[in-house]
Chain A
Amino acid sequence: MKHLLFLAARSAWNRKLTLGLTTIAIALSVTLLLGVERLRTEAREGFNHSVNGTDLIIGARTSPVQLMLYAVFHMGEATNNIRWGAFQDVVANPLVAWSVPLSLGDSHHGFPVLGTTSAYFEHFHYGDDQALVFVKGKPFLDTFDAVLGSEVAARLNYRLGDHITLSHGTGTVGLPEHADKPFVVIGILAPTGTPVDRTVHVPLEAITAIHLDWVGGAPMPGFSIPQKFVHKFDLKPKEITAALVGLKSRAAVFRMQRMVDDFGEEPLLAVMPGVALEQLWQVLDVAEKSLLAVSAMVVVVGLSGLVAVILAGLNERRRELAILRAVGARAHEILLLLTLEGLFVTITGIVSGVVLMEMLALMLAPTIQATYGIAMQPSFITLEELKLLGIVLAVGLVASLAPGYRAYRLSLADGLTPRI
């Protein structure tokens, strides 16, 4: 067996150009397969990790998934808001332990701005019931204070005391600025690996304040209210986008949910974060599965290339196989030799694919985090990925048996003197 391994390795090395190309094809296909798998699990992980301790998310009536997406992940936009009065009526319910209003719609250099209350920093939990932690500064006190998520601070290089202005609407270019009413950075949060990292938090009343002199999404021409006078106005919000609600007892969650859904004054929706996420996964399941299936097909294509290359080279190796037979190789050792060769290429492809994948993950993690808010943890191969690799190896083995069997047949037919 040892000498066959040696021979197979030397033989493969001798064909390093063609087999090398095949190895690259297999490596790339493995990278794709692992990449899809990892992105899939990291996305799930990230989403599941993003909110904890909140019993219900309340918003205007829409689909539970959409409410979840914009309220927690700041993705997409709310089609409708909740009137402030309705929100207050709902959370006046004795079942409610705490509530945090959320107001979205503005941005800062592409990062979403969240208007909320200081209760947010107390009640919003993520991951394994972790609370938000300030690395610098403190929660906001004044109307024009801002608390930055870790990534916002890091990317835009902000420190405490810096002045920032908000843009109206979400996006990165061509947005009207709230230039006349700058905010002061008063706190910076520790990294969480959740959308919080990418959020600028300001007091709820500030959202009202910066829009006092705006009409229909633009500053009122010829009219402006200077920042120092805003307190002369009623800064109580008219509307909010959504709210996070914690209950005194989790057992009451269905009762509370029904009450919100049946709220008479306006159509509202209450969703349990876990349930909404589950729905999201169901929606994404087909897409995930097809993506995985496509990458699996790519792996099969790569392995077919391997079989084709080894098979194509067999004819010119008939004399070599005959020599091996003459010096004493048994017919099944010829089968083993060719199979081992294919297996070598498969294993090399898998290992290179894994290395490539880890390198790409390391290199692209910041971009993915910034663009999609998915935190790619520099993790080692998971059990699930190992299973996938095991399947690739098994398919590679079966595929390599094809040229092995062909060589076996050839060497039986040729004996010691191949008729070429």
Chain B
Amino acid sequence: MTQSSNVIEIENLLFRYPSADEACLDIGEFKAKAGERIFLYGPSGSGKSTLLGLLGGVLIANQGSVKILGHDLKSMRPAQRDRLRADHIGFIFQQFNLIPYLTVIENVFLPCRFSRRRSSQLNGNSLMDESRRLLTHLDLDPSLWQKPVTQLSVGQQQRVAAARALIGRPEIIIADEPTSALDAERQMSFLELLSRECAESGSTLLFVSHDHRLSKGFDREISVGEINRAVTIPEMESA
């Protein structure tokens, strides 16, 4: 947070998997400002999963720097990077986002169990009240809150995942194809809910998708394939 209001800063990033011969990610520059909503177009094989791993601090660049809120991930110890991720980033994945043996509300609690910072940013509410508020905002009926997540539809599960990502107002929300398992109508409504909540908590939204139709209403659209100068190796990517 020293020199700018950029929450994410990538410079001259080069990443190669230890088992691979060639780099799969080579990004000259990528920046995201606080509160910005960015649509990251990333078809399969473009290196987007690797990019998310680098942003989450579970992968480390071979060269160049990845800064989250001004912290250079490379210079941090693994435990510090885990702390940084827990405190400042909320993740939503494609599907199977939830811990199957926890209830809806327990899943929403999770980030606050791992991050003291996030459990202290609950808009003055208790953890329970804030979870309820978010779930209500995301249109999840109270009758579902104490249910095992396995009884929820995919759409409901994704909204629980969104509530979990948003709780404790992390500065960055990274959504990796969160709507790909939903039908078209629900895709739009989920996107709207997510955008609204991110705006309300002032979080930067990094929305990754291979579907251009969803890019409406974002501040910026970036293609991973364009910023990534490396020849990517499809096998290294998840679908």
Residues of A within 8 A of B (CB): 3, 7, 10-11, 13-14, 319-320, 323-333, 412, 415-420
**Does B212 count as interface, using CB distance less than 8 angstroms?**
no
B53 — which chain A residues lie within 8 A by C-beta?
415-417
Interface residues in B77-136 by Cβ distance below 8 A to A read 78-79, 82-83, 85-87, 91, 93, 96-102, 106, 110-111, 113-115
Bound Cα distance from A420 to B94, whole angstroms: 14
Asked if residues B59 and A327 are in contact (CB atoms below 8 Å), the reply is no
Between A and B, 26 residue pairs with Cβ closer than 8 Å are: A3-B113, A7-B102, A11-B101, A14-B101, A323-B98, A326-B56, A327-B91, A327-B111, A327-B164, A328-B82, A328-B86, A328-B111, A328-B115, A330-B79, A330-B82, A330-B83, A331-B78, A331-B82, A412-B58, A415-B53, A415-B58, A416-B52, A416-B93, A417-B238, A418-B238, A420-B238
Least distance between B148 CB and chain A CB atoms (Å): 9
B56 touches A328 (CB 8 A): no
B91 touches A416 (CB 8 A): yes
Contact A328 B85, beta carbon cutoff 8 Å: yes
B176 at interface, CB cutoff 8 A: yes
Looking across the interface, which residue of chain A has its beta carbon closest to that of B17?
A413
Number of interface residues of B (CB under 8 A): 31
Given contacts A10-B102, A328-B115, A417-B93, 11 further A-B contacts (CB under 8 A): A13-B101, A327-B91, A327-B110, A328-B83, A331-B82, A332-B79, A412-B58, A415-B56, A415-B58, A417-B49, A417-B176
A355 CB to nearest chain B CB (Å):
26
Contact B100 A329 (CB under 8 A): no
Number of A-B contacts (CB under 8 A): 73
A89 to B83, CA, bound (A): 92
Give min CB distance, B108 to chain A, whole Å: 10
Q: Give 9 closest A-B pairs by Cβ, nearest first.
A: A328-B86, A328-B114, A14-B101, A415-B58, A3-B113, A415-B53, A330-B82, A326-B91, A417-B49
Q: Are B114 and A323 in contact (CB under 8 A)?
A: no
Cα distance A86–B86 in the bound complex, in angstroms: 92
Look across to chain B and name the residue whose beta carbon is closest to the beta carbon of A317: B100
Chain B residue numbers with a CB within 8 Å of A7 are: 99, 102
A324–B97 CA distance with the chains assembled, in angstroms: 10
**B109 CB → nearest A CB, Å:** 9
The answer to whether B93 touches A10, judged by C-beta atoms less than 8 angstroms apart, is no
Q: Are A320 and B100 in contact (CB under 8 A)?
A: yes
Looking at the assembled complex, report how far the CB atom of A195 sits from the nearest CB atom of chain B, in whole angstroms. 57
Q: Mark B51-66, 1 if CB is under 8 A from A, else 0.
A: 0110010110000000
Which A residues lie within 8 Å of B83 (CB)?
328, 330
Chain B: minimal CB distance from A326 (Å): 4
In the complex, the answer to whether A419 meets B97 with C-beta atoms within 8 Å is no
A13 to B86, CA, bound (A): 26
In chain B, residues 14-52, which have Cβ atoms closer than 8 Å to a Cβ of chain A? 49, 52
Q: Is the CB of B58 within 8 A of A327?
A: no
